[in-house]
């Protein structure tokens, strides 16, 4: 065991060294930090591991069928990183050491956070490589969505743009994190400040659908079939909607035969039906492409 005097001298030497950060700041770099630590900090910079009740303290702040937009406060993120690195901080030397290290660790966490999502999806080359961004990373924005959409369409597509009226030359902001936090809650974080956000059903989806009216009914609009001057697929009369009959309203089961007869009768009255009403004509009436919801800074 060392005597008190050598330990005291060693303590004084370390105190002197730590008191002048410029002497040793250059000793620490990203290469001197282990990959496990730097990768963990990168995930932390995207709020991985942060309890949900820290993000949404009260359920009323994120009610059902709502979306909330947010900025990631750079100062708050620095404190988060500093707090995560404070384990074992006891002495004044520890404080001085961490005070210098935080100026190195925070930029590392920012850089590492840019590759977290790409690693999670398997490092696929292609779409993710398009959205490279320069260092240093600027302000980050995002949203929390609580909706049945999250559960019903796991493949929701999200794109955010810096300007409201994006052109062909304007590329979407890079998505740093996009993850379901629960059955019906989605979080998304972008590298930059978006002014326009598009949330779209999976583009490959093509299905039958009807509109849900404020009265609670489901309605369908009669569409032309290329007869009687009505173009195929173009609404004939949006003022007269067909109420979709239900076989079991509690389960959302449609009375398909009854609906087909109602659509057929409605088209005949408009003199827009040929000799027969087959499954092809039925499909034209109900086919739905992927829906898209757009938010911009004026909303």
| Separation CA 193–CA 174 (nearest Å) | 11
| E runs forming strands in the chain | 66-72, 140-146, 157-161, 175-182, 185-190, 196-200, 207-208, 211-212, 218-221, 241-243, 246-248, 253-254, 287-288, 292-296
The pLDDT, as a whole number, for residue 275 is 86
What tens digit of pLDDT does each residue of 134-146 get?
A: 444 578 999 999 9
> Cα–Cα distances in Å, from 66 out to 62, 100, 102, 117, 143?
6, 42, 36, 25, 10
| Tokens at 228, concatenated | 């009687």
Which of 30, 10, 20, 6 shows the shortest CA–CA distance to 97?
A: 20
What tens digit of pLDDT does each residue of 184-207 get?
A: 999 999 999 999 999 998 877 677
| 70 bridge partner residues | 142
The pLDDT, as a whole number, for residue 4 is 43
The pLDDT, as a whole number, for residue 15 is 56
| Tokens at 285, concatenated | 């009436």
Decide if 223 contacts 283 (C-beta within 8 A): no
| Separation CA 34–CA 117 (nearest Å) | 20
| Tokens at 200, concatenated | 């779209």
The pLDDT, as a whole number, for residue 2 is 44
Residue showing tokens 């898209």: 292
Which residue positions in the chain have pLDDT lower than 50?
Answer: 1-5, 124-136
| Tokens at 106, concatenated | 């925070």
| Tokens at 159, concatenated | 């794109």
């Amino acid at each position: 065991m060392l005597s008190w005097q050598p330990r005291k001298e060693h303590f004084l030497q370390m105190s002197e060294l730590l008191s002048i950060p410029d002497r040793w700041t250059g000793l620490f770099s990203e290469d001197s930090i282990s990959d496990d630590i730097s990768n963990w900090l990168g995930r932390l910079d995207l709020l991985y591991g942060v309890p949900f009740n820290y993000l949404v303290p009260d359920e009323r702040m994120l009610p059902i069928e709502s979306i909330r937009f947010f900025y990631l406060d750079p100062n708050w993120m620095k404190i988060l990183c500093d707090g995560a690195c404070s384990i074992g901080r006891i002495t004044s030397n520890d404080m001085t050491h961490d005070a210098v290290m935080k100026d190195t660790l925070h930029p590392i966490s920012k850089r590492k956070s840019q590759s977290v999502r790409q690693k999670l999806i398997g490092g696929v080359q292609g779409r993710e490589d398009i959205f490279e961004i320069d260092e240093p990373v600027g302000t980050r924005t995002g949203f929390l969505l609580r909706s049945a959409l999250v559960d019903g369409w796991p493949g929701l597509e999200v794109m955010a743009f810096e300007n409201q009226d994006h052109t062909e030359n304007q590329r979407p902001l890079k998505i740093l994190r996009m993850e379901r936090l629960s059955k019906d809650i989605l979080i998304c974080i972008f590298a930059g400040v978006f002014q326009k956000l598009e949330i779209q059903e999976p583009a490959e989806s093509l299905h039958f659908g009807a509109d849900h009216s404020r009265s609670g009914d489901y309605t369908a609009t009669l569409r032309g079939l290329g007869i009687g001057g009505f173009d195929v697929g173009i609404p004939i009369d949006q003022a007269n909607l067909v109420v979709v009959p239900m076989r079991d309203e509690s389960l959302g089961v449609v009375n398909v035969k009854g609906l087909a007869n109602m659509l057929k009768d409605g088209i005949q009255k408009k003199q827009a039906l040929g000799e027969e009403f087959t499954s092809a004509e039925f499909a034209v009436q109900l086919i739905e492409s992927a829906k898209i919801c757009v938010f911009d800074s004026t909303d």
